[in-house]
Amino acid sequence: MNKKLSKVIFFLLANLYVSAFAQIQNSQSLSGTWQFRLDPEDKGLKENWQGTSFTDHITLPGTTDEAQYGEKTTGSDFGILTRAYKYYGLAWYSKEIEIPSEWNGKHIRMELERVLWESRVFVDGKEVSVQDALSTPHYHDLGYLSPGKHRLTIRIDNDLIYNIGDKGHVYTEYTQSIWNGAVGRLQLKAVEAVHFSNPQLFTKVSPCTLQVTDTIMNTSAKKVDARISWQLSERESGAVVFTRTTEQLLQKGANVLDFQATMPTDIKLWNDVTPHLYQLKVTVQDKKKIYNTREIEFGFREVTSSKSKILINGKPVFLRGNLDCVHFPLTGYPSCKVEDWERIFRIYKDYGLNHVRFHSWCPPEAAFIAADRIGIYIQAETIWIDWWMSVEQKERKEMDTKGHPQGLGKNPSADRYVQQELVRMIDAYGNHPSFVMQCIGNELGNSDFEVMESWMKPLREKRLPPFVCCIDRP
């Protein structure tokens, strides 16, 4: 090997190492021990707990039940598994974090993958953000933090934030539990001045095309002459099947990204029998540095319908499915681990199933990843409100529903939640080929179906093709 070639190889390897190291260092796990305090009387804000330290401790990811905080139960609840410890209300979690010098001038974002229900975040005693999603991660924008130590405090409320009742599986004691805590990914991310927001992928199969839409943010003080590189490779073999480079002048602020390309003729399609997957790597950079890279695992598939059938890639599919109501009795909350969901879906396949309906709830991203890889069609939902929940159940006290929620279209609190949650679910999981159906929920008997149809129409327009939105009519 001549010296000139050796220098080139060394330079390329060095650049790869630096880029990989930079990507790794742009995130920081928050898993571990946190200071902790229950707030059953809701006096924390009045007493400025956000600026104090707590003497109790808890491990996150985890819940108050697992840490044995709350009321110790002595008997069993009617018809359901009973938690050893119960707690409803506010709980405070606090941790000292250290911002590395390499993050100076970068925007800091925090992710809590799954929270029940509201998370309110403070940095150094100052409130910065509130989130209340049940089906998707809570992302908190912490702004620009100076290098060094900071106090991060989270106030979590697992009470009934919106009036959806406590019988639907997204929020219930009947299958999971009304837990307090944070599970799944807990991390900080440093965001460069130029970065992708949330790339959304759309595929068609005849001919096979890929479209990627997003908003590229440029928070720097000047325009950026950007080069965007696209690389598509097979997930299993790693073989690169498509590359392209595009150029775009990024104005200060928000910039629309709309990439469209026809794929090679030998692209393999995704379905439940042959779940072929690809990895899309997208990088935005200028002549001096790489700003942001996103890697997205997905499959090429198109969902349409005839008068009587659902079509996957133009062919009818017979859905053979199971009903999932958050069956995780050992923890009381759904797993956020891909390997756990792969085990579950392999059992489905052993029984000849290819479909799962998540009854009035939406699983974490790990379930979608596993379903992509195993070949499972997912229907995700938001809520369950039926007529009997809106009235007091005097004879069957165990069925009396907290809040006595009215049907959708007549319940401003639940209406607001459902519309926001539907959009959040599509934005978070819409790139997964397994996510083929979205439904408002179960047995919406006393709801206004015309109102609900008006909610679904813009979602169809946003995500089709390929997507099927539906309403479960009683």
Tens of pLDDT, residue by residue over 385-429, are 999 999 999 888 889 999 999 999 999 999 999 999 999 999 999
Within 10 A of 410 (CB to CB), how many other CB atoms are there?
15
Q: Residue 80 has what pLDDT?
A: 86
Residue type, 325: C
Q: Residue 464 has what pLDDT?
A: 54
pLDDT > 90? residue 113: yes
pLDDT > 70? residue 467: no
Structure tokens that stand for 469 in this block: 């939105």
Q: Residue 15 has what pLDDT?
A: 46
Q: Residue 472 has what pLDDT?
A: 54
pLDDT > 80? residue 23: no
Distance between CA 383 and CA 165 in Å, rounded? 9
Candidate CATH numbers 3.40.710.10, 3.30.390.30, 3.40.720.10, 3.20.20.80; the one for domain 303-470: 3.20.20.80
Q: Which of 274, 189, 191, 194 is nearest to 235 (CA)?
A: 274
pLDDT band at 81 (very low <50, low <70, confident <90, very high): confident
Distance between CA 342 and CA 348 in Å, rounded? 10
Q: Residue 11 has what pLDDT?
A: 42
Q: Residue 57 has what pLDDT?
A: 98
Please write the tens of the pLDDT for every residue from 65-79. 999 999 999 988 888
List the chain domain ranges.
25-191, 194-298, 303-470
Among positive and negative, which fits the CA dihedral 144, 146, 147, 150? negative
CATH class of the region 25-191: mainly beta
pLDDT band at 202 (very low <50, low <70, confident <90, very high): very high
| % of the chain surpassing 90 pLDDT | 86
Inter-helix orientation angle 449-463/412-429, to 10°: 20
Please write the tens of the pLDDT for every residue from 360-385. 999 999 999 999 999 999 999 999 99
Q: What is the pTM of this model?
A: 0.92
Distance between CA 5 and CA 22 in Å, rounded? 26
Please write the tens of the pLDDT for every residue from 282-306. 999 999 999 999 999 999 999 998 9
Instruction: Round the CA-based radius of gyration of the chain to a whole number and report it.
Output: 24
- Identify which has the larger pLDDT, 211 or 470: 211
pLDDT band at 18 (very low <50, low <70, confident <90, very high): very low
Q: Categorise residue 5: left if φ over 0, alpha if ψ from -120 to 50, beta otherwise.
A: alpha
Q: Residue 461 has what pLDDT?
A: 79
pLDDT band at 445 (very low <50, low <70, confident <90, very high): confident
pLDDT > 50? residue 314: yes
Distance from the Cα of residue 223 to its chain's centroid: 32
Please write the tens of the pLDDT for every residue from 228-260. 999 999 999 999 999 999 999 999 999 999 999
Angle 341-158-63 (CA atoms, 0-180°, nearest 5)? Answer: 50
Least confident among 179-183, 211-215, 350-354, 467-471? 467-471
Q: Residue 132 has what pLDDT?
A: 97
Q: What is the mean pLDDT of residues 22-30?
A: 76
What is the CATH topology of the domain spanning 194-298? Immunoglobulin-like (2.60.40)
pLDDT band at 470 (very low <50, low <70, confident <90, very high): low
Residue type, 195: H
Torsion of CA 176, 116, 422, 400, to 10 degrees: 60
Q: What is the mean pLDDT of residues 204-227?
A: 96
Average pLDDT taken over every residue of the chain: 92
Q: Residue 17 has what pLDDT?
A: 44
Q: What is the mean pLDDT of residues 117-132?
A: 97
Q: What is the mean pLDDT of residues 266-273?
A: 97
Q: Residue 14 has what pLDDT?
A: 44
| % of the chain surpassing 70 pLDDT | 92
Q: Residue 79 has what pLDDT?
A: 81
- Identify which has the larger pLDDT, 25 or 215: 215
pLDDT > 70? residue 465: no
